[in-house]
Structure 1
Amino acid sequence: MNAPECINTENAMRRVFTPLLLAGLTSLSATAAQAALPETATLYKNPQCMCCDGYARHLEEHGVDVTVVSDRDMNEVKTQAGVPYGKGSCHTIKAGDYWIEGHVPMAALEAFFEEAPATAGIGLAGMPSGTPGMPGAKTEPYNVYTFSEHEATPYMTL
């Protein structure tokens, strides 16, 4: 009679601890991805651009302390960053050792900072609808690229 009670107790413990273990691993995984993001960033933008402020808020919601600078020559910033011609956006961000060009979705940023590739930065050309900071719904795939020395390389499509 004791054997069935042990089996029931063991099964009950599995039912309780397995979900707890999975929840803990999921939480740890999310924390690890967020931990890869830099703690601070500087966002360079045109003073009249409001979507850039929306992107700064998006980064802040993910734990990045953002300083917004709106009095720098954006062509100078983009040249310094190495943003490829024709791949620019409305803002450029210095985050850790990398540059972020435009409204790059968080999924791409997390993967990029987790991998820490040997490149100058990551970007998304233009101001696509539905990206962080931009109004509207997603209307087409987001083609995210990495860049170094003004040359782009496809990174991921979201």
Structure 2
Amino acid sequence: MRNKLSLAVYLALATPALAEKPMTVWRDPDCGCCDAYVDYLRSENFEVHVIDDRDFVNRSVAAGVPERGMGCHLAEIDGYTLSGLIPADIIRRLLHERPAVTGITLPGMPANAPGMASKKTGSLRIFSFGPDGPAVYSDE
């Protein structure tokens, strides 16, 4: 029993973490928080492809992001649209739950969001959007 447990621990430590689904991020090339957010996502094992796009606002509107709910960049992962500095655990929750929404957004650039702060403090209100309109998705 002890050898099996030792082998299980060894394999868990020796096996690299599985990468998350690939994600594309459209962002303004002059935005430093977007660079920090992409670094954060990569540290959370997301495979991120970055596209410089100074017109991501129009791209966001075309993707269905409510104008009053827009974040500082746009992303796509596994059929969902993401707007803003959404924490990795919320993205994983979205991909696990698979709700019938177009996507989720964290409006603006909250000071305690990934890419803005080194550590999340307080709560972040994240909204879903889609055919049924906007709704609170997470208030963590």
Range class of TM-score, shorter chain: 0.7 to 0.9
- Confirm or deny that 1:55 pairs with 2:55: no
Task: Say what the alpha-carbon RMSD is for the aligned residues.
Answer: 2.8
Q: Any unmatched runs of 5+ in structure 1? A: 1-12, 28-33
The answer (yes or no) to whether the contact 2:24–2:50 under 8 Å persists in 1 is yes
Which is greater in Rg?
A: 1
- Confirm or deny that 1:133 pairs with 2:115: yes
What is residue 46 of structure 1 aligned with on the other side? 28
Query: How far did residue 150 of structure 1 move?
Result: 8.9
Whole-Å Cα distance in 1 between the matches of residues 125 and 136 of structure 2? 7
Which TM-score applies when normalising by structure 1?
0.71
User: What is the aligned-residue identity percentage?
Assistant: 32
- Confirm or deny that 1:107 pairs with 2:89: yes
Alignment deviations for residues 65-111 of structure 1 (CA, whole Å, 9 cap, x no partner):
21111135112211122111211111010112011110111221111
Whole-Å Cα distance in 1 between the matches of residues 49 and 118 of structure 2? 26
Q: Secondary structure at the residue paired with 2:82? A: strand
Q: 1:69 aligns with which of 30, 51, 58?
A: 51
Q: Secondary structure at the residue paired with 1:52? A: helix
Q: Paired residues, what number? A: 134
The answer (yes or no) to whether the contact 1:44–1:93 under 8 Å persists in 2 is yes
Whole-Å Cα distance in 2 between the matches of residues 72 and 46 of structure 1? 5
Query: How far did residue 54 of structure 1 move?
Result: 1.1
Q: Would you identify which runs of 4 or more consecutive aligned residues in structure 1 move more than 3 Å? A: 136-140
Which TM-score applies when normalising by structure 2?
0.79
Whole-Å Cα distance in 2 between the matches of residues 150 and 72 of structure 1? 29
Note closer, same or farther for the CA distance 1:140–1:63 as it changes in structure 2 (3 Å cut): closer
Whole-Å Cα distance in 1 between the matches of residues 131 and 30 of structure 2? 28
